Structure 1
């Protein structure tokens, strides 16, 4: 999906050379697209079902790609408003079905969930996910089920989340102490960088067993991976262009893949050494990598035969998903709270009344912070971290709501548009208003299709509980421990909310604020 239509400028020369040929193709296509006779229609579509509506005109080679700009989730909503909540596009040579309403999302993610449980095979996953050997990009099947079960049981269950509570308290406490020091000298905090760092350290400790990821930082690697996965790769839509690498993306993928593989191999080698120990006594505690290595050696899991590439792909999926999504979510929610001082006051009043001013927030307090949780829901409604979720119809043609969805069609769930659908959220759907969740049964878990920030169905996010706990704890602690004001006389309306599109949609500009410590305790 293209984040930057400007990249098409790189292809102008190539496309101009094909105009003479494609002009003839366009004429033939137009002729073929005229209404066929009933007899011919019955031969080509025995079921009498047809593709969903969509824009009539498309370019040769590019299809409807020219309609998409730097923020395709915005463009897809605009097109869906015109053509309907189930819309057909031609992205190069790939048929795509865009889903943009709660009702249509339920059809694809619940009613026909199994049919659309596949993932598109994009070029980036070949290089950066070891040929789809991880969890996120793996095709639906026995291997994927086995990996999901492994990740859930060994890393993401409620019991595992509770077991790591002390680690989260330690990490967040260290950040509070650091921010207090900045505030005492009148300094300014880059909240995005701060939050990214604490979430990164938590993720390393959960997955790799050490705070620094075995001495290797992945933040820059993850940032570039997100850019590449979100980038417009013409080869994914016009496959015969793959050998030419016209945009240089494959060169970037190969370089990043080599760097990533070196880091992951050194971490795994260190775990193998630690498992044996100098005296052969081994470690007392097994982290997630240790567990996967032991499964690879025992080879007891029939659903998934793990090798080193599988382990590297799974580790990278877990690190990338935990760092990128949680940190981005916190940044967007904090942005909205800074833009709405009345919301900040209500959150802080609630925490003060429930927790008091003589201690920091504990995880047992989080369920009681109703208004904070409403603000989190509202932030994720307006700013879902993954705005476009991709599925694939991987087995056969399927009929949905009387529309024919062809095999290998790319299904694009526009989570961003669904969260702003005025039919589901009223006329003020574009406004940040946490009160809309008061006395509401709508929850995070993917059963309410007007609100699916963590996805839904078989391919929904397995790390929902852990990610949500991190978001709640970091926000509660920072808002409880500090008062925040914008620097340099900025007004709330001056906070820049522009987006940077990628696999995850992050803030385009840093989020800066001045902290003042407000508790009656010594750290």
Structure 2
């Protein structure tokens, strides 16, 4: 066995000493460099978990309370991940407009990567040429005004079917949440894949997919504990439900490939995406995983946010009969005795639009906008934000900020939006139900028209009240936090036909 001479040992010792000195030097420079930086205020954190213990069961509310103490821009740590939290319109404007390019990417998270085919979708794909090309394709081919209008008959037919179901209930109790889930699922299914499905299987898959987005993944925030996600079974559950959806959508795609529509038939979204893929008219590889990820986006975003927003709005109307009567009056005047309000009527229903906007202010579907990540060092409101910092915008807190909404900010008052210039374009940073900047929701127009048409016809055709003389003050408005903000208890209502014509 070879032995080291004293000279060799001395040289090795010298090299190790130099390496140690350099490591200490780098650590010293980093420490003093960070001390010179002006970071946002931070609540005290714990070892390993950081500030996770301060989130509680309702992070949107917990973060609002922390912001009231530490300010509208805070730097928290979720595990080892730095997390900037914005809780005011002014800070949101800086992130979504002034520094939008620096904050337009998405962090790499375990569960979205598993569920969304490696984040090949529009919502979670990192910012770059792939995402730009994909968003352009989706907006032009799937979500343009012309394309949204082409599905008018689908929306009107499904809403008419819902109205008939309520009429057949003859005043018995109706679970409004289940009714709205069925409505939105049927619309999205017919638009996306060409026909409605027996809702039980698909609804179950979608519910489990959505639930996976709310489950805490240790490895996403504490990388050296990534193994915990495997041992706990989290990764296994995510892969199982992802495989179930993949098998479902694969059957749909094969069905479309084998049964091509004639030229005079209305194309669904799968038809359109297959045409895009076949014609190769875009500048990036539109693989099948991309197609499936886009369709999954449509199902998740199109159903859950839409039905939840409608549910919150109906609950607010029941709690505020003055607003309900005023909206019913507008609907009756617009309908002029016809059996149904149609989409062409909606532009004239200003109070309807104000009611929905006010409900979205108090109950934004995604209370903490989908996280972003800084791709470079940024100076934000005088603070240093390092590259790699994740960003959360608390849209829920901004929508209730008394400095902005000065007149009873917690109260449901649609009049504040009546004839207002605030719109869904994402440039009104005091009102961000669908985000803003480059990453704002692309399907706003598609979802809003469903909400407007369904709500207009529900209040036109029915008086919606609580059963057994229950007081409207007793209606449970508790939140169940998730990536989408649900009502904890779906209201049971009596739907009594109105003498409208």
User: TM-score, normalised to structure 2's length?
Assistant: 0.90
Q: CA deviation at 1:440?
A: 2.6
1:241 aligned to which of 219, 222, 225: 225
Local SS of the residue matching 2:82: strand
1:44 aligns with 2:28: no
Shift of 1:405: 1.1
C-alpha displacement of 1:370: 1.5
Instruction: State the shift of 1:286 in Å.
Output: 3.2
Matching residue within 311, 326, 331 for 1:351? 331
2:169 is the alignment partner of 1:189: no
Partner residue in 2 for 1:258: 243
Partner in structure 1 of residue 77 of structure 2: 90
Contact 1:274 1:282 in 2 (8 A): no
* Counterpart in the other structure of 1:482: 462
Deviation at 1:401, TM superposition (A): 1.1
Is residue 195–residue 330 contact of structure 1 (8 Å, CA) maintained in 2? Answer: yes
1:221 aligns with 2:201: no
* In structure 2, distance between residues paired with 1:445 and 1:334: 24
SS of residue matched to 2:103: coil
State the distance in 2 between where 1:327 and 1:411 align: 27
Structure 2 match to 1:157: 144
Shift of 1:519: 4.3
In the TM superposition, what is the alpha-carbon distance from 1:43 to its structure 2 partner? 5.3
Deviations 1:198-242 (A, max 9, x none): 1111111111111228x8853222222222112222221111111
CA RMSD of aligned residues (A): 2.1
Aligned pair count reads 474
Tell me what 1:438 maps to. 418
Query: Which of 335, 341, 365 lines up with 1:385 in the alignment?
Result: 365
Match of 1:22 in 2: none
Q: Which residue of 2 aligns with 1:291?
A: 272
Q: Secondary structure at the match of 2:409?
A: coil
Q: Indicate yes or no: 2:197 matched with 1:209.
A: no
- Residue 268 of structure 1 is aligned with which of 245, 249, 253? 253
1:358–1:519 Cα contact (<8 Å) kept: no
Structure-1 separation of matches of 2:373 and 2:121: 20
How far residue 138 of structure 1 moved from its aligned partner, in angstroms, is: 0.5
**Per-residue CA distance 1:286-314 (angstroms, 9 max, x = gap):** 32212222333343422x20112111111
Give the structure with higher Rg (CA).
2
Written as runs of structure 1 = structure 2, the 5 A alignment for 1:483-502 is 483-502=463-482
2:327 is equivalent to residue 340 of structure 1: no
Q: Secondary structure at the match of 2:131?
A: helix
* CA displacement, residues 342-378 of structure 1 (integer Å, 9 cap, x when unaligned): 1111111111122233431111111211122111111
Equivalences for residues 3-18 of structure 1 within 5 A: none
> 1:455 and 1:218 mapped to 2: Cα distance?
28
TM-score (norm 1): 0.87
Could you tell me whether the CA contact under 8 Å between 1:233 and 1:247 is conserved in 2?
A: no
Q: How does 1:114-125 map to 2 (within 5 A)?
A: 114-125=101-112
Q: CA deviation at 1:395?
A: 2.2
Question: Distance between the aligned counterparts of 2:204 and 2:311, measured in 1?
Answer: 17
**Alignment pair present for 1:142 and 2:129:** yes
The offset of 1:322, in angstroms, is 0.5
Q: Distance in 2 between matches of 1:436 and 1:339?
A: 18
CA distance in 1, matches of 2:357, 2:128: 32
CA distance, structure 2, for counterparts of residue 263 and residue 495 of structure 1: 38
1:449 is displaced (CA, Å) by: 0.6
SS in 2 for 1:422: coil
Aligned to 1:301: 282
Q: 1:269 to 1:358 in 2, by over 3 A?
A: closer
- Residue matched to 2:297: 317
Report the 3-state secondary structure (helix = DSSP H, G, I; strand = E; otherwise coil) of the residue aligned with 1:390.
coil
- What SS class does the counterpart of residue 319 from structure 1 fall into? helix
Deviation readout 1:62-113 (Å, 9 max, x if unpaired): 0011111111011011101111111000110000000000000000000100
Equivalent position to 1:103, from 90, 94, 103? 90
Separation (CA, whole Å) in 1 of partners of 2:264 and 2:349: 39
Residue by residue over 1:435-471, the C-alpha shift from the partner in whole angstroms, topping out at 9 and shown as x without a partner, is: 1223432222211110011111100011111111111
Q: Is the 8 A contact 2:373 2:388 kept in 1?
A: yes
> Displacement, 1:427?
5.1
Unaligned runs of 5+ in 2: 1-27
For residue 487 of structure 1, report the CA deviation from its aligned partner: 0.8
2:379 is equivalent to residue 399 of structure 1: yes
1:53 aligns with 2:34: no
Contact (CA 8 Å) 1:49, 1:402: kept in 2 or not? no
